[in-house]
Structure 1
Amino acid sequence: MTDRSDDADRASDNGGASDNGASIAPAALVDRLRAGDDLTVLDVRDRDEFERWHLEGEGIEAVQVPHVRFIQAEATGGVDDLVADLDDPILAVCGHGEASAHAVGLLRDTGVEAYNLAGGMDAWADLYLARELETDAPATLLQYDRPSSGCLAYLVVSGDEAAVIDPLRAFANRYVAAAADRGAELSYAVDTHVHADHVSGVRDLAARTDAEAVVPEGARDRGLAFDARTLVDTAERGSASPASHARPDGDELRVGEATLTAMATPGHTTESLSYRLGDVLFTGDTLFLEGVGRPDLEGGRDEAPAAARRLYESLQKQLLEQSDETTIAPGHYSDAADPRADGTYAVRLGDLRGRLPALSMRKDEFVDRATSDLPPRPANDERIVAVNLGREDVDEETAFELELGPNNCAVAD
């Protein structure tokens, strides 16, 4: 497995095709998908691996044909028959890029326009892109994008201090290196809520740097089992637990000359916080570009209606009270989200008001919409929550395997 901590993504170094045009690098695949290119994905892994997680999205037709059938066809003939019903171009994928490369070689020998995903699904999961987020905030902001899952994280740099919001453990060294490149050190590693779709890097960053782990106060009620500063909204400051590590001004974090201000936005989870920095609002899993956070991951379907009502109040009384000029910087995106011209996923709140019907629904209508037709839960969500609360320890490889697949944290409009 590649070293995910490098500051540059080696998988994207060639920028596109390699091996005489027979391979496509993961970063080049991102560009093709964003351009709206239609693509047939030929997955040569076993059926269980394919069903667990495979490439999907707008413009993608994913088909599973196990590699063993290509081996058989190589001996008996009829390789092109395996893809006779598939449209060109074909992108072959496997776990590490080797079996799919073999299949591509056989297909190209028969005249089929086929390419190999360089490094396979492992390299796709390793891809982590950093782009500067252009805002009027009093700090330099980097948005980190993991295309394989749609997870977004943010690095805030002001002077010689930095904070990372919703970091992923698999890429912890990336944030440290990026801060150092800008003459800063991490002061805080912040989670907006207890994540159920990926392993948080908050605890890992606190252990390997001088950064302080910061989580919502409500994480204690969910069984927080590691030392962290806990923050609450201004309105909730008086209810903080006596064991809280919050400061007297516990709703704020100073990062150089910038200030991150916590805002209670429960609904997706009971403890969810959003963070304001100037004209930017980091909304975690409360509000996305294409929907809102799903309300059933913490309490299950039985408690989802009550959670959806809390989410409605958070949206109406907290987030939608902000200026139309506020930039919404979410914690995830899906294929339905459109990036900005610079590739980042962010939008003015004023634009989002008219785009998302959920933001103008009545409460009962919203609750019904938010609790109906929910997607499958994220893979291994209960165990990931246990790891993120510090109640279970896993090694790097296990953590990486646990979070493979789509995040499935949203209710799309």
Structure 2
Amino acid sequence: MERQFPALDESVGSITAASFKRRLDEGEEWTLLDTRPTSAFEQWRISHPNVTAVNVPFTAFLDENGEPADSVPEGVPDEQLVTCCAKGISSRYVAEFLAREGWDVRAIDDGMEGWARLDELRHIETGPDLDAVQFHRPSSGCLAYLLVSDGEAAVIDPLRAFAGEYVEQAHKRGATLRYAIDTHVHADHVSGVRAVAAESEAEVVVPERAQDRGATFDGRFVADGDTLTLGETSIDVVGLPGHTTEMTGYRIGELLLTGDSLFLDSVARPDLEDEDAAREAATQLWETRQQFAALPDETIIGPGHVGPTTAPSSDGTYTARLGSLRQALDAFEDDREGFIERVTANLPPRPNNYEEIIALNLGQQSATDEETFELELGPNNCAVDG
């Protein structure tokens, strides 16, 4: 049952999360008043270069009897505002309260849940035989990829929340989805490989070591050195262990999709599969780093995630040439012991509900679409300092 708030005879404008994101991308600057509890705000919030976020919980706008407070609480900026909360309920009350007091204010009508339902897509410039599209979920930084060649398509690291969108985008490009591929057993979001396969003709493809972790579903299990045929091109399977034992990349021409091994401003954390084996995993990740050191500078890196402060490239995609990453990331300057220390020290909090999400992605548990959406709300936290 949703919380009831006092009725105020005020009318305020609203804006959807999608419209708000579009206006931010167009250069508008906004001050956002987040009315969730401080703990929720500190863990996860709307992040964008053009947003200044301030947290004043909705309880500050109520008196001890649950009636409107006598005055505007401290900390509310004296300027044009947009309000936000989890679902657009408390923030609408706060917007009405502030409008009554003379503020120019509007409310995000679907809150953080609306923000989490956004999925943006951009084209990656590659060779003539490949149409590559990157999907970006701003709320968590998750990235997925659609690859199309000669009427056949593959989606890599799809999210269950957007399974239908990948199928639709393949059809728009005149392609049949042949593969639904994961780079690893995700801990921060619910995989969409099986959902995509259920809505299309796609074959589920996952790293074979996922079986060692307890994968219970049917599919094609691939290993380092394998090749998948896609239209006029091929997808090379590249083992990149460290973040997890089964972490796998997929190379198509000069594009290398690295999953959660190498990011644009950091490297992977090694403790989400087995906290007690983090140092061993970090050693594997060092060997993977050495693999990257041997690849051509011109290799285009397409990571599995971006952070809230990661800047897109000039074409709007979250990709980068490997040569530039080798120059920018401190992890490429470390020796073996320095690297292992870097990726095992001061690890960030684990992703929300990660154990249950892993069980879902292994096929060991089931959940409804709404349950999975709720499970993966929040930051991904799959990286360490670069």
Q: Do they superpose with TM above 0.5?
A: yes
Task: In structure 2, give the amino acid aligned to 1:277.
Answer: I
2:234 maps to: 259
2:224 maps to: 233
- State the Cα distance separating 1:205 from its structure 2 match: 1.8
2:119 maps to: 128
- State the Cα distance separating 1:109 from its structure 2 match: 3.5
CA distance in structure 2 between the partners assigned to 1:140 and 1:118 by the alignment: 35
Contact 1:67/1:103, CA 8 A, preserved across alignment: no
2:4 maps to: none
Residues 140/357 of structure 1: CA separation in 2 closer, same or farther (3 Å cut): same
Residues 90/292 of structure 1: CA separation in 2 closer, same or farther (3 Å cut): same
CA distance in structure 1 between the partners assigned to 2:54 and 2:122 by the alignment: 29
Task: In structure 2, give the amino acid aligned to 1:307.
Answer: A
CA distance in structure 2 between the partners assigned to 1:98 and 1:382 by the alignment: 30
- State the Cα distance separating 1:116 from its structure 2 match: 1.6
Structure 2 residue matching 1:282: 3-state secondary structure: strand
- State the Cα distance separating 1:324 from its structure 2 match: 0.8
Contact 1:50/1:64, CA 8 A, preserved across alignment: no
2:3 maps to: none
Contact 2:35/2:56, CA 8 A, preserved across alignment: yes
1:161 maps to: 152
The partner residue of 2:215 within 224, 229, 235 is 224
1:54 maps to: 45
Contact 2:60/2:73, CA 8 A, preserved across alignment: no
2:284 maps to: 310
Task: In structure 2, give the amino acid aligned to 1:375.
Answer: P
1:95 maps to: 86
2:327 maps to: 354
Deviation digits for residues 162-216 of structure 1, max 9, x if unmatched?
0000000011000000001111111000000000000000112223322100000
Contact 2:217/2:362, CA 8 A, preserved across alignment: yes
Deviation digits for residues 333-363 of structure 1, max 9, x if unmatched?
0023110233210011111111111012101
- State the Cα distance separating 1:21 from its structure 2 match: 8.8
Task: Provide the identity percentage.
Answer: 46
- State the Cα distance separating 1:40 from its structure 2 match: 4.2
Task: In structure 1, give the amino acid aligned to 2:150.
Answer: G
Deviation digits for residues 265-296 of structure 1, max 9, x if unmatched?
00000011111001100000000001011001
1:391 maps to: 364
CA distance in structure 2 between the partners assigned to 1:74 and 1:326 by the alignment: 60
Task: In structure 1, give the amino acid aligned to 2:283.
Answer: R
Residues 401/213 of structure 1: CA separation in 2 closer, same or farther (3 Å cut): same
Alignment of 1:139-154 (within 5 A): 139-154=130-145
- State the Cα distance separating 1:83 from its structure 2 match: 4.7
Residues 32/340 of structure 1: CA separation in 2 closer, same or farther (3 Å cut): farther
- State the Cα distance separating 1:88 from its structure 2 match: 3.5
CA distance in structure 2 between the partners assigned to 1:412 and 1:257 by the alignment: 39
The partner residue of 2:70 within 74, 77, 84 is 77
Contact 2:130/2:233, CA 8 A, preserved across alignment: yes
The partner residue of 1:275 within 250, 254, 257 is 250
1:9 maps to: none
CA distance in structure 1 between the partners assigned to 2:232 and 2:310 by the alignment: 32
Deviation digits for residues 237-271 of structure 1, max 9, x if unmatched?
xxxxxxxxxxxxxx111111121101110000001
Residues 212/139 of structure 1: CA separation in 2 closer, same or farther (3 Å cut): same
1:371 equivalenced with 2:363 (yes/no): no
1:334 equivalenced with 2:307 (yes/no): yes
CA distance in structure 2 between the partners assigned to 1:51 and 1:121 by the alignment: 14
Name stretches of at least 5 consecutive residues in structure 1 with no aligned partner.
1-19, 235-250
CA distance in structure 1 between the partners assigned to 2:224 and 2:367 by the alignment: 32
CA distance in structure 1 between the partners assigned to 2:214 and 2:255 by the alignment: 30
Name stretches of at least 5 consecutive residues in structure 2 with no aligned partner.
1-10
The partner residue of 1:194 within 162, 167, 185 is 185
| Larger fraction in helix | 1
Contact 1:67/1:99, CA 8 A, preserved across alignment: no
